[in-house]
Amino acid sequence: MNSALVLVLALFAGVCYGAYNTPDGRIVGGEPTTIERYPHIVQIEFLGVFTNAWGQSCAASILTSRYLVSAAHCFEGIFYDVSRRRIRAGTTHRNTGGQVINVLREINHPSYGVASTYDGDINLVQLVSALSFNPVVQPGSIISQGFVFPDNTPVVHAGWGAVSQGGSASPVLLDVTLYTINQQLCTERYANLTPRPQVVTENMICAGILDVGGKDACQGDSGGPLYYFNNDQTILVGVVSWGHGCANETYPGISTAVSSYTNWIVANAV
């Protein structure tokens, strides 16, 4: 096991718990925050095919000085090439400041898109050179393999995505608190989505403000973190993946459940 990768093995002792038609994410209903609060998050910048300009389009979380965890769908597509991805770490502001490092390779999980369109939407991102750790660039903790949160657990999204559906990206880092939603209920709602039902698997976490809406992650937040706070420790439990619309009251946002892939992460982030 990589000693630089910190795992949280248990949060509730003795208890066993069982973004958007397109995979995009943004923070809706959030508040400005700072990178000092979330030194584990980085921006993933894309080099535009037609603009030939770099811009933040996804996010990721630091595992070690050379490896990040993000969403597989941020590293695919007809125009995808690894040379068109780089990261920016250690800055509150979008597209400016911090450490900028190119991506060497991505390792998309082999199950991505097999069971359903967005199942296994997680990957490892290896950097060309190592991050320089400091107070605003730090490796994070991840949840243990197989852990499932109870319903209505408070969790937090952070990112630079747009602040409203179809709106522009935020110039500064935002965060928002929402709550985990019963898996069966979430599955049933997406199964009844018209005109195209969607599949929610056991490898996903549904979170939002059910039947109220107004808070979510959407375009620009994909690949970014879903956190749980355990006292003063920030624990990565999800990776922003997909959903129907943004902050929809009926259809919660969905993140990849990190706990389904912790062992794979530890074995490959070397």
208 with 115, same domain: the answer is no
Is 109 labeled as catalytic in the residue annotation?
no
Query: Quick check: is 1 in a domain?
Result: no
Annotated active-site residue in 73, 109, 157, 244: 73
Distance (Å, whole) CA 132 – CA 138 = 9
Q: What is the pLDDT of residue 9?
A: 37
With b for 16 or more beta-carbon neighbours within 10 A and e for fewer, the 110-134 pattern comes to ebbeeeeebbbbbbbbbbeeebebe
54 with 117, same domain: the answer is yes
Query: Quick check: is 12 in a domain?
Result: no
Amino acid letter for position 25: G
Q: What is the pLDDT of residue 5?
A: 53
The one-digit pLDDT tens for each residue of the chain (270 residues) are: 444 454 443 333 222 222 333 333 346 778 899 999 999 999 999 999 999 999 999 999 999 999 999 999 999 999 999 999 999 999 999 999 999 999 999 999 999 999 899 999 999 999 999 999 999 999 999 999 999 899 999 999 999 987 777 678 999 999 999 999 999 999 999 999 999 999 999 999 999 998 887 887 878 999 999 999 998 899 999 999 999 888 888 999 999 999 999 999 999 997
57 with 173, same domain: the answer is no
83 with 97, same domain: the answer is yes
Query: Quick check: is 11 in a domain?
Result: no
107 with 89, same domain: the answer is yes
Annotated active-site residue in 24, 70, 119, 121: 121
DSSP assignment of 9-69 equals: --SSTT-------SS----BS-EE--TTT-TTEEEEEEE-TTT--EEEEEEEEESSSSEEE
Distance (Å, whole) CA 20 – CA 238 = 17
Is 73 labeled as catalytic in the residue annotation?
yes
145 with 247, same domain: the answer is yes
pTM of the predicted model, to two decimals?
Answer: 0.90
Query: Quick check: is 8 in a domain?
Result: no
State the residue range of the domain holding 74. Answer: 41-139+263-268
Annotated active-site residue in 61, 70, 222, 259: 222
Q: What is the pLDDT of residue 27?
A: 67
22 with 74, same domain: the answer is no
Distance (Å, whole) CA 196 – CA 229 = 35
66 with 122, same domain: the answer is yes
Q: Are 41 and 158 in contact (CB under 8 A)?
A: yes
145 with 23, same domain: the answer is yes
- Count of domains forming the chain: 2
Is 121 labeled as catalytic in the residue annotation?
yes
